[in-house]
Copies of this chain bind each other. A is one copy, B any other.
Amino acid sequence: MNPLVLRLRQFTDLSSAGETSIARLFRASARSVERNADLVVEGEQALYAHVILEGWAARYKTLRDGRQQISALFIAGDLFGLHTRLVRELDHSVRAITPVQVARISPDDVNRLMDRHPRLAKGLLWQQLVLNAIERTWLVNLGQRTAYERVAHLFCEMLLRLKAAGLAGEDWCEFPLTQTELAQATGISTVHVNRVLQRLRAGRLIELESNILKVRDLKGLRKAALFDPSYLHLGARSR
């Protein structure tokens, strides 16, 4: 099943014509990107919308002195750059965290798709809104939460998102970030990430080994993170 379709169904029913259009579009434009390669890079002209079909990717920005911050993680079914053609140049890059399959969609195709399938168009906009809400929540994490809370929060979030995408078990999921990447996502140093992980393990909240995250005490983890999932908008479907 197409991961974007799967995702949009959480928002609304799609017409089967709409679903077919998506599937056709993706088959035509899918390509693979290897780990650590960029899907799009800062400063480039922003030509295409992208949908992740498989794997994880990260949106990030680099400061002049080399510091990097990851501002979003994308998993299968995530869409980014929907209206990106409206800006002259990108303010961020996106790189593959794992090997990635991604579909690249031209503005024309986006427009055609959205014109012909209004419900689908709403779904795509909804997706963007949810991803914006996630980014906003990350911002709050960086501003207000401690290192410990941030890492716990990220684990809660990714488990839920992956579950919603049908990519996780009840209490475990893939988690392919290295500690360095985890540091770039949470705005703390690599060394400190390591120490925080130890604390989470010692508190019997999680296990994390060879890219598998196992949550041993979800309630405890949520509490540690002050996690409130409403920003993910996963509940019942709306209109």
Asked if residues A87 and B130 are in contact (CB atoms below 8 Å), the reply is yes
Given contacts A87-B238, A233-B88, contact A69 B122 (CB under 8 A): no
Contact partner of A69 (CB less than 8 A), chosen from B84, B143, B238, is B143
Chain A interface size band reads 35 or more
Interface residues in A105-159 (C-beta closer than 8 Å to B): 122, 125-126, 128-130, 132-133, 135-140, 142-145
Residue numbers in B under 8 Å from A16 (CB-CB): none
The reply on A64 being an interface residue by CB < 8 A is yes
In the A-B complex, the 3 residue pairs with the closest CB atoms? A143-B187, A142-B142, A69-B143
Nearest B residue to A45, CB-CB: B238
The reply on A63 being an interface residue by CB < 8 A is yes
Contact partner of A91 (CB less than 8 A), chosen from B67, B88, B184, B230, is B230
Asked if residues A136 and B61 are in contact (CB atoms below 8 Å), the reply is yes
The reply on A89 being an interface residue by CB < 8 A is yes
Taken residue by residue from 192 to 205, chain A's Cβ proximity to chain B (1 for < 8 Å, 0 otherwise) reads as 00000000000000
Q: How far is the CA of A183 from the CA of B83 in the complex (A)?
A: 33
Given contacts A63-B226, A238-B88, contact A69 B144 (CB under 8 A): yes
- Which A residues lie at the B interface, using CB under 8 A? 43, 59, 61, 63-65, 67-69, 71, 83-84, 86-89, 91-92, 122, 125-126, 128-130, 132-133, 135-140, 142-145, 184, 186-187, 226, 228, 230-231, 233, 235, 238
Q: How far is the CA of A122 from the CA of B59 in the complex (A)?
A: 24
Given contacts A61-B137, A136-B71, A226-B64, contact A86 B238 (CB under 8 A): yes
Given contacts A65-B226, A238-B86, A238-B87, contact A71 B140 (CB under 8 A): yes
